[in-house]
Amino acid sequence: MKFPRRLIRHLETPELPLQTLEAIHRLRRYLDELEAACILKARELGASPADIGDAVGITRQAVYNRLHHLEQRAETDPDFVIPDLRAEETEETEEIPDRESSSPA
């Protein structure tokens, strides 16, 4: 999972508010996916739900809920892929698909 630097450049041009809003939306999706990958990796490495909750600023119970949601998503969503946290950072990145537009209508 590569950092979407191109989207950051859109945030630096607030005179184009619709493009800026789209960039914010896509960055949130990127960060949500990165957070999910980090939660799963931390758990895999032995971090307790309390440790993860402290790092994220949520309760231990909320961590259990997120883990449960991620497990369900992995079982039911064929497009769900845990990002590789070791990916090299580059200037440009692949497009982050928009979850709403990739869902069947």
CA dihedral over 31, 40, 42, 56, signed as positive or negative: positive
pLDDT digits (tens, 9 = 90+) for 53-78: 999 999 999 999 999 999 898 889 88
Which of 70, 45, 48, 68 lies closest to 60, judged by CA?
A: 48
CB 89 within 8 A of CB 3: yes
pLDDT digits (tens, 9 = 90+) for 12-60: 777 888 888 999 999 999 999 889 989 999 999 999 999 999 999 999 9
pTM for the whole thing? 0.69
Q: How far does CA 37 lie from the centroid of its chain?
A: 7
